[in-house]
Amino acid sequence: MKTLQRTFTIVKPDAVRKNAVGDIIEQFEKNGFRILAMKMLEISKYQAEQFYAVHAARPFFNTLTDFMSSGPIVVLALEKENAIADLRKLMGATNPAQAEEGTIRKKWATNIEHNAIHGSDAEDTSRFELSFFFAGYELAK
């Protein structure tokens, strides 16, 4: 029996500024992800701080949250078997200098901070991240 899993992703402000949204969404679909929900929005510095609260003690927290509130982002709820791990594989390493050929970050990321895309890293974080951006009715599919 197939067990579908959900994950959450953000096309970050750098990728939106590069007009990479269409290409990245095409890669989700070509790699078997179903788009459950999607929206383009801007978040405030405070909202970015809440979303990335697990990184609050990190030295990059301030620049990360400045960057994530610097322009439009596109947030998506995706579904497939093994979605969390498969999305992370498709994204490539956090630092694009280490990202494999054929990954989204290899193609679109500029550096470790401006790295084009975010994806949930585990089931508990995906639940938190999906519910941060989507209401229950938007995911009731």
Residue numbers of the site for ligand CMP (CB under 6 A)?
55, 60, 64, 94, 112-113, 115, 118
Residues 33, 78 contacting (CB under 8 angstroms): yes
Q: How far is the CB of 1 from ligand CMP (least distance, A)?
A: 31
Q: How far is the CB of 2 from ligand CMP (least distance, A)?
A: 27
Rounded to whole angstroms, how far apart are CA atoms 117 and 125?
Answer: 16
103 or 115, CB closer to ligand CMP?
115
**Known active-site residue 118:** yes
Query: Out of 118, 126, 129, 134, which one is annotated catalytic?
Result: 118
119 or 134, CB closer to ligand CMP?
119
Q: How far is the CB of 21 from ligand CMP (least distance, A)?
A: 16
93 or 139, CB closer to ligand CMP?
93
Judge residue 136's burial from the number of C-beta atoms within 10 Å of its C-beta, 0-12 exposed, 13-18 middle, 19 or more buried.
exposed
Residues with catalytic function: 118
